[in-house]
Structure formats: structure tokens, C-alpha cells
Amino acid sequence: MIGIIGFGRFGALTARYLAQDLPVLVLDTGAKSEAIRAVGAVPGSIEEICRQEIVVLCVPISALREHLQRIAPLLGPDTLVVDVCSVKVLPVRWMKEILPPATPILATHPMFGPDSAADSLAGRKIVVCRERIDEARYEPIARWLAERGLEIIETSADAHDRQIAVSLALTHFIGRSLAAFGARPLEIDTEGYRRLLHILGVVENDTWQLFEDMHRFNPFAREQRTAFVRSMESVASRLEPKETEKNGMLPPADPDLSPLQDRVDAWVRTHGVRYFSELTNTALLMEEVGELARIMARRYGEQSFKRPEKADSLADELADVLFVLVCIANQTGVNLSEALRRNLEKKTNRDRDRHWNNPKLTPIKTDKP
């Protein structure tokens, strides 16, 4: 028997297809017993679910850790745990961290939903990451999926998330943007426009929670999303008159530090679990600036090193300072590209002639370059 936790739209779809061939037990929260029986499954308690041969977690990724912690002490010794999240790196990590070491794990991402697979699974795709499951356990599962007409894609969690950041997260981002724009059917339209509306139709029935989760919990989504937005801005700028410098003002698009912010954010979410608090990072910034000051005082000041210093120590300390600064900017919502552009404009307006007229910097008669 298979146990299912989560009876939303996708959980109900999963229960319906599995119940056609196998006995299925679905966690009953007390309000969906009739709906569970209507798809051919049986309501059950959390303890009953965890004693089954396979437990399928059909819950949002934002709730996955909570459910893993809940079922971990209740699982049978050979119970296989399967997730269906649309991202894989973090779910795999959490399952390995929270579940007992001997618990088999199969991470999956069904590439279909309640609408696209309402009538059949034939021709649909499902991604599987064989994290902690032997061939004897995996083979009958793969055979059942293939018999239902599903195309099985075996890959790693990292490779999955890198591709899905474009094929899913970016597609939903475009669809949500079209909805916010107010895109609708027009009498005078084109085939291309109708295809855009198809993207809108694909995402409009999905919850905002799903959309938010696929971006928030995919370590590569923000990088791809930002790159796409920059590409649109680049194309748009080519349609407008080329910006020229006026009164010494820099073009708004210069500089662009968003790739740096995206890369630091991806690192933190992939390897750092989460950002330290703003106050902690401020203290760390002071610490890193102190380390930088130590190097400067000894390399360019009168202090001396107690022991030989690495040649790249200055670069490393500067990078540490920059990293913490970018972390603080990310967690406080500061766009460093825009902030630096405005700061340079401020300095240009305020100090255009000030430094040229400072005899401490350059002889007064020296012409500007």
C-alpha cells in the first residue's frame, strides 16, 4: 500500500492515478474524507501512512521540512520516501538530513499537473533523482511509470534545478508578468500573441505559493530571472535614442552589479542555508574591515608582519569585505547598481570642479585630461 501526505490538487491527482492499480492511503485531516474516497483511496492517520511501503509527500516545498520532521520518527524501517517538489537540490538535502540514515529516498518532479494530466499520463515527463534507493526497489517503480506512458528522465538534483530555473521558473515568471500586464485575447491578434496567451493559460490556475516556491527555493532561479530581465531591458534600450552624457551624468545602466548580487544570493541559499541577521552581518563587516586594516597597516604602513603573509591576502580580505557588503544589500533590498549610479551622479554634481581646484591633489594650472 502507498501512503500519500497532502491532498491538494496534485495530491488528489496522484491518489487517483495510483488508486487505479494499487491500494492507496491518504492522510485525512478531518475535512476531506469523502473527496479521498471519491478518487478510490482510503483516509488514514499519520501513523498508518508512515507504516506503508512507500510514502509520497505531495506538499509545497515551503512545508516540506515540517512534514519530514513529523514523519521521521514514525517511518517503518524499509519505508521509501518520495517527494514531488518542482525543485530538487534543497528537498534532497533536507531528506538526507532529517530522515533516518537507512530510509530509502527517491526525489521526483512530475512535469505535469492537474490540468495537463487530467485525462491521461501518456506522453508526460517525470524527472527522478535516485538519491538513496537500490535497483531492486527502483525497477518496479520505473516499470509502473513507463507502463502509464510516462517518459522518465534520470538526472541529478543540481542538473535538474539548473534547467528547471529556465524551463519552469522563467516560464511562470513570463506568464505572471503577462497577467500583471493585463494580457487578454484580442480581435486583431497574431499567432505569436496567441502563443504568449498560452503561457498565461498554463500558469493562471497554479497558486501564487507554487510560483513563489519555485523561485525562492531554486538556487539558480534568481540568476536566470535577472538575466532575462536585463536582456529585455537591453532590447528595449535599442529602440530608444542612445543615451548621451548630459552635465557629466552617467548613463542609468552603468554600472551593473546585479550579477554579483545574484551570485552571492545563490551561494548563500545553496551553501549557507540562509542569511545571517542584518545585525550579525554588520558585526561581521566590521570584523572583515579590521582584517583588511591589519593587512594595509603592515603592507603599506609602519607595522610589520609576525609571520610571512600570503601574496593574495589583500585580495582575499577585500573580497571578504565585498561579500558581506553584498549580503547586507541583498537582505535589505538594496539594488547596488542603482545605488552606485545615483551615488556617482551625486559625486559628479557636487565635486565636478572641487578636486581639480584642490592644490593638494594637482597643480592648479594643470589642465583637465
pLDDT one-digit tens code per residue, 55-97: 999 999 999 999 999 999 999 999 999 999 999 999 999 999 9
**272 within 8 A of 330, measured Cβ to Cβ:** no
Q: Could you write out the DSSP letters of every residue in 232-272? A: HHHHHHHHSPPP---TTPPPTT----HHHHHHHHHHHHHHS
DSSP one-letter code for 339 = H
Q: Do domains 2-155 and 245-351 have the same CATH topology?
A: no
Domain boundaries, the chain: 2-155, 162-226, 245-351
How far apart CA 90 and CA 61 sit, in angstroms, is 9
The span from the CA of 350 to the CA of 189, in Å, is 51
Least confidently predicted of 9-18, 187-196, 231-240, 339-348:
231-240
Give domain 2-155's CATH number out of 3.40.50.980, 2.120.10.30, 2.30.30.230, 3.40.50.720. 3.40.50.720
C-alpha cell at 14: 496522484
Asked whether residue 368 carries a pLDDT value surpassing 50, the answer given is no
Helix (H) or strand (E) holding 26: strand 24-27
- Whether the bond between 255 and the residue before it is cis, its omega within 30 degrees of 0, is yes
Distance CA 158, CA 85 (A): 14
Of residues 121, 109, 117, the one with CA closest to residue 149: 121
Among the four given CATH numbers 1.10.3430.10, 1.10.287.1080, 1.10.1040.10, 1.10.3720.10, the one describing domain 245-351: 1.10.287.1080
Residues 61 and 191: beta-carbon distance below 8 Å: no
Contact 104, 133 (CB under 8 A): yes
Is residue 5's pLDDT more than 50? yes
Of 256 and 145, which is predicted with more confidence?
145
Distance CA 275, CA 265 (A): 9
Distance between CA atoms of 28 and 87, rounded to whole angstroms? 26
- Whether the CB-CB separation of 196 and 183 falls below 8 Å is answered with yes
Whether the model pTM is above 0.75? no
- Provide the phi-psi class of 273: left if phi over 0, else alpha when psi is between -120 and 50, else beta: left
pLDDT of 235 reads 84
pLDDT tens figures, 157-196:
999 999 999 999 999 999 999 998 899 999 999 999 999 9
pLDDT, tens digit (0-9, with 9 covering 90-100), for 109-125: 999 989 889 999 999 99
Pairwise CA distance, residues 17 & 121, whole Å: 9
